[in-house]
Amino acid sequence: AQSVTQPDIHITVSEGASLELRCNYSYGATPYLFWYVQSPGQGLQLLLKYFSGDTLVQGIKGFEAEFKRSQSSFNLRKPSVHWSDAAEYFCAVGTGAGKSTFGDGTTLTVKP
Amino acid sequence: DGGITQSPKYLFRKEGQNVTLSCEQNLNHDAMYWYRQDPGQGLRLIYYSQIVNDFQKGDIAEGYSVSREKKESFPLTVTSAQKNPTAFYLCASGTLEDYTGELFFGEGSRLTVL
């Protein structure tokens, strides 16, 4: 069965610093991978997605993610974090049947 | 604007009462989903539907019921059989054309059982 692990429950970074959120997945076939962001009390918004091709994908709000098949990872990065990036981030794997499995999320706090 | 509308945003109910959460989408998506979110537990799938008048149980369907009478609507009823109904509920939709699992979410409904 497919699964997604986000090893870091909570990460704190200073504004302007770089960010990397980790995501490892387990899935037997070629994965469809997603990163979503959730502000408190809101729904989830898609940041970026990987289906195939170039392993470095660009998303909204200056985020990017790199797919590494050998490590079963899809880590999210941002070169310089803004205070408005404070939120919860979810990694997900699409199973190809229209469904997705989500990680438990990583909460990002941004220090001024 | 196209999107998913969930209502109500906040709902309070007494124990033993059934409650129904509304979810409407105008994205012309075939598939709709209900997720439950609890702190530290990510999103867990309750029910999903890929076509009108058909739906399937997700991972935590016990104590919940759904209907899909129209393509645009997928209401969720939290019944009195649900042992711990206080949670944040998210409705989502997706196209089945590419079958990737990309989802579009509503703003959520927070249910508190007193």
Closest partner residue to B50 among A44, A92, A98, by Cβ?
A98
Smallest CA-to-CA distance from B63 within B88, B43, B80 is with B80
At B107, is the pLDDT very low, low, confident or very high (cuts 50, 70, 90)?
A: very high
Query: Which pLDDT belongs to residue B40?
Result: 76
Cα Dmax for chain B: 42
CA of B54 to nearest chain A CA: how many angstroms apart? 15
The residue that leads in pLDDT, B41 or B110, is B110
Residues of B in contact with A51 (CB under 8 A): 98, 100
- Is the peptide bond preceding residue B8 cis, with omega within 30 degrees of 0? yes
Instruction: Chain B: give the shortest CA distance to residue A106, in Å.
Output: 9
How do residues A65-96 score in pLDDT, each as one tens digit?
A: 999 999 999 999 999 999 999 999 999 998 76
Query: In chain B, which among 31-90 make CB contacts under 8 A with chain A?
Result: 31, 33, 40-43, 45, 48, 50, 88, 90
* Angle (nearest 5°) at CA A22 between A30 and A24: 35
- Quote the CA–CA distance of B16 and B13 in Å, as a whole number: 9
Torsion of CA B25, B29, B32, B36, to 10 degrees: -60
* Alpha-carbon gap, residue B16 to B79, rounded angstroms: 8
Residue A26 has pLDDT above 70, yes or no: yes
In this model, does residue B1 exceed pLDDT 80? Answer: no
Q: Is the Cβ–Cβ distance between B56 and B110 less than 8 Å? A: no
Which tokens sit at B88?
Answer: 């944040």
Using one digit for the tens of pLDDT, what is the confidence trace for A28-52? 777 899 999 999 889 999 999 998 8
pLDDT given at position A90? 97
Q: Does A10 touch chain B (CB under 8 A)?
A: no
